Chain A
Amino acid sequence: MTIDGNSLTALWWAVIFSGIYHGINPGMGWPLAVSAGLMEQKHWALPKALAMLALGHLLAMLAILLPFSMMTVLLQWESEIRIGAGMLVIAMGCYLLINRRHPRILARVHPSRLALWSFLAAMAHGAGLMLVPIYLGICAIGSSEAGHLAARTLMGNNIGNALVVAFVHTMTMTIAGGIIATIIYFWLGLKFLSKTWFNLDIVWAISLILVGIFGIYSTYAGH
């Protein structure tokens, strides 16, 4: 129980940490919020842009997590699902590592359609997939605690978990990205835009691989 409790806490911290990580990645959109604020020459354009980016990101998380929450009801397949998900995340990481080209589809989105852009950016970079092993870990602890629950209740719990995971992740992402965007917009100026922009492509791809390995490992380790 205490081990489970600790693991659960660690997993929720992972959700929060992943949010911060996505938030500081320029590829997830904080420079767009700066640009929107400056282009519209109104301060409120910045929080509005952040909200649109958050909406797109949240939807992208749900688009990935909800199908997995449906699958968690297949309790007898739990290990296979978690291992499969881990392998999927590793595969995405490998793909991004090998294919270093940027997705051209993002260049076709109109600059004002921030939510759509954010959704597509998150999908193209496997941002949602990065959460799947963490999410399945949380669900696994939930199901072992509540093994006697009816499948319907379990699924309800797991859908709830997906919503909370997506929400908490997106919130921390928005706060992290928002802080950077705000500091650059109000204080540091655009010179720091290029100074704070690091190439995270490889780090990002490796993160996916590591999270995938963690997912598979934790399945065998019991959670």
Chain B
Amino acid sequence: MNMRPDPTFHATAQLAMQAPVENYGFTIMLSPDGEQSDGIAVVDLNPDSSTYGQIVHQVIVPHKGDEFHHFGWNACSSALSPLTGHAFLERRYLIVPGIRSSRIYIIDVKDPLNAKIHKTIEPEELFEKTGYSRPHTIHCGPEGIYVSTLGGGGEDGTDGPPGIFIMDCETFEIIGRYEMDRGKQDKHYDFWWNLPQDYMVSSEWGLPPQFEHGVVPEDLLSNKYGHSIHFWDLRKRKNIQTIDFGENYQMALEVRPAHDPSKSYGFCGVVVDTTNLQGAIFTWWRDDEGNWQAKKTVTIDPVPADADDLPDLLKGFGAVPPLVTDIDLSLDDKYLYVACWGLGEMHQYDVSDPMNPILAGKVELGGIVAKHKHANGKGFAYGPQMVEISRDGKRVYWTNSLYSTWDDQFYPNDEGGQMVMANVGDDGGFELDKDFYVDFPKGYRSHQIRLEGGDCSTDSFCYPNV
């Protein structure tokens, strides 16, 4: 407990943008075959440091086969909520779930160069207290840390629907399930909210048998992955509205609400439209009557390709789908970054008008067929995937792996983990930084990135920009 609020907590997104820049990044190290233990790589992000762009510390966990994916902070700017007044928490621990093992590690990164495991929550405790499995997205909210899960109970995680559970933000005890009334929600992926407006939005990937051993083509072509988003009364813990994008919009993944809590809109990325292989972004908003609406505001076309250049999975289609697998919104709510993992492109959309996004920049890197090289001449395995933006919006970091078994299906000949960075121009546009290229240790792939002091997919702000 501090006497003053943690200096990395900010009342508004604007104030967070003006705060000192990040010195370290924390990136998932994933051993795809479980040969080695997964871990967190601490990456030096200070350009003035002699170890800039290098992995300066690794926290390798004792177990194997956890499959790290997403992770998050124990506390963020939501601690300045005038309602809960938890202002004296420290942003100190990373909550790192294994989506294959359901084990959760709490990692103390107060001193990034000596980051270490603080606590381990065994899968049995999670199963017993929540009936959920395969924990995924982390956000700090009212009553504690919220964690979404991808699976329900039972061996294959299909015994009951997946959902969200709450964890104590100081002791990391699992408190229990979040939902009082889940309505139509029967799959889960990401979630986020607007704390003052008291709503939450959640999304859908698929159930564990649909992803753990690889994408199931029959399920995809018969539109059996998730294609809805759910709106919740956050404090009543009740699903108040479900919007179905349409069954062809397969895999509604990342949910990115505007950071300014006076705004009532956000975005959701859809991996693939099964009617035409397009990738899509939906804008969702609350209308004047208080009902939620959603509209497709971005489409990204597939690129025709020779069947010989395509993996077995895609041979029949003769094209590379964009595969929109991650999106991230800058803190000023101006730029939405969209990872097109299949094409090998990172797009930057100006979403100043959220109903009319305009493509403002594009970086080409990797890709199933294109295989674009980095600006420094080196290769890039897979394509741009997990993307994270610096608080000031000037640097965009990303890594390359989607999910162990899926990487192997879409990129059967690729292997490796890379983390790169692009600098954003003053008037939009962005370019790869030649000097920033982190090659992960042999046998490791890379996934989500968290930035020291918070980033653009962590902090929830409780006060509007002025």
Interface string of A89-114 (1 = CB under 8 A from B): 00000000000111010111111000
Instruction: Pick 13 A–B contacts, CB within 8 A, sort by A.
Output: A26-B85, A29-B82, A31-B85, A32-B83, A35-B462, A102-B85, A102-B86, A107-B84, A190-B11, A194-B7, A195-B4, A197-B80, A201-B1
- Given contacts A102-B85, A193-B80, are A110 and B462 in contact (CB under 8 A)? no
A107 and B88 contact, CB distance less than 8 A: no
Q: Residue B87 contacts which of A35, A39, A191, A197 (CB distance < 8 angstroms)?
A: A197
- When distances are taken between beta carbons in the complex, the residues of chain B under 8 Å from A197 are 4-5, 80, 87
B11 and A108 contact, CB distance less than 8 A: no
Q: Does A149 contact B (CB under 8 A)?
A: no
Interface string of A187-206 (1 = CB under 8 A from B): 00111011101110100000
- When distances are taken between beta carbons in the complex, the residues of chain B under 8 Å from A107 are 83-84, 142-143, 235
A38 and B463 contact, CB distance less than 8 A: yes
Q: Does A41 contact B (CB under 8 A)?
A: yes
Q: How far is the CB of A98 from chain B (nearest CB, A)?
A: 14
Q: Does A142 contact B (CB under 8 A)?
A: no
Which of B28-71 touch A at CB < 8 Å? none
Q: Does A167 contact B (CB under 8 A)?
A: no
**How far is B88's CA from A104's CA once the two chains are assembled, in angstroms?**
15
A35 and B196 contact, CB distance less than 8 A: yes
Q: Does A34 contact B (CB under 8 A)?
A: yes
6 nearest A-B pairs in the assembled complex, by CB-CB distance: A107-B142, A31-B82, A190-B11, A32-B82, A107-B143, A194-B5
A190 and B12 contact, CB distance less than 8 A: yes
**How far is B86's CA from A93's CA once the two chains are assembled, in angstroms?**
19
B82 and A35 contact, CB distance less than 8 A: yes
Q: Does A84 contact B (CB under 8 A)?
A: no
**How far is B195's CA from A41's CA once the two chains are assembled, in angstroms?**
17
Q: Does B116 contact A (CB under 8 A)?
A: no
Q: Does B10 contact A (CB under 8 A)?
A: yes
Q: Which residues of A contact B (CB under 8 A)?
A: 26-27, 29, 31-32, 34-35, 38-39, 41, 100-102, 104, 106-111, 117, 189-191, 193-195, 197-199, 201
What's the interface size class on B, roughly? Answer: 35 or more
When C-beta atoms are compared, the residue in chain A nearest to B168 turns out to be: A101
Q: How far is the CB of A193 from chain B (nearest CB, A)?
A: 5
- When distances are taken between beta carbons in the complex, the residues of chain B under 8 Å from A32 are 82-83
**How far is B11's CA from A33's CA once the two chains are assembled, in angstroms?**
14
B466 and A34 contact, CB distance less than 8 A: no
B142 and A108 contact, CB distance less than 8 A: yes
In the complex, the number of residue pairs spanning A and B with C-beta atoms less than 8 Å apart equals 91
Interface string of B337-379 (1 = CB under 8 A from A): 0000000000000000000000000000000000000000000
- When distances are taken between beta carbons in the complex, the residues of chain A under 8 Å from B261 are 39
B87 and A194 contact, CB distance less than 8 A: yes
B85 and A34 contact, CB distance less than 8 A: no
Q: Does B198 contact A (CB under 8 A)?
A: yes
Interface centre among B10, B86, B88, B197 (most CB of A within 10 A): B88
Q: How far is the CB of B463 from chain A (nearest CB, A)?
A: 5
When C-beta atoms are compared, the residue in chain B nearest to A27 turns out to be: B85
- When distances are taken between beta carbons in the complex, the residues of chain A under 8 Å from B7 are 194
Q: Does B444 contact A (CB under 8 A)?
A: no
Which of B150-182 touch A at CB < 8 Å? 170
Q: Residue A194 contacts which of B1, B9, B86, B142 (CB distance < 8 angstroms)?
A: B9
Interface centre among B11, B82, B196, B262 (most CB of A within 10 A): B82
**How far is B5's CA from A198's CA once the two chains are assembled, in angstroms?**
7
Given contacts A26-B85, A201-B1, 15 further A-B contacts (CB under 8 A): A35-B82, A35-B463, A39-B463, A39-B464, A102-B85, A104-B143, A106-B83, A107-B142, A108-B143, A110-B235, A110-B236, A111-B197, A117-B83, A190-B466, A194-B5
- Given contacts A32-B82, A39-B464, are A193 and B3 in contact (CB under 8 A)? no
A191 and B84 contact, CB distance less than 8 A: no
- When distances are taken between beta carbons in the complex, the residues of chain B under 8 Å from A38 are 262, 463-464, 466
- Given contacts A100-B1, A199-B1, are A108 and B235 in contact (CB under 8 A)? yes
- When distances are taken between beta carbons in the complex, the residues of chain A under 8 Å from B9 are 194
Q: Does B15 contact A (CB under 8 A)?
A: yes
Q: Does B2 contact A (CB under 8 A)?
A: yes
- When distances are taken between beta carbons in the complex, the residues of chain A under 8 Å from B83 are 32, 106-107, 109, 111, 117
Q: How far is the CB of B80 from chain A (nearest CB, A)?
A: 6
B262 and A194 contact, CB distance less than 8 A: no
**How far is B9's CA from A28's CA once the two chains are assembled, in angstroms?**
20
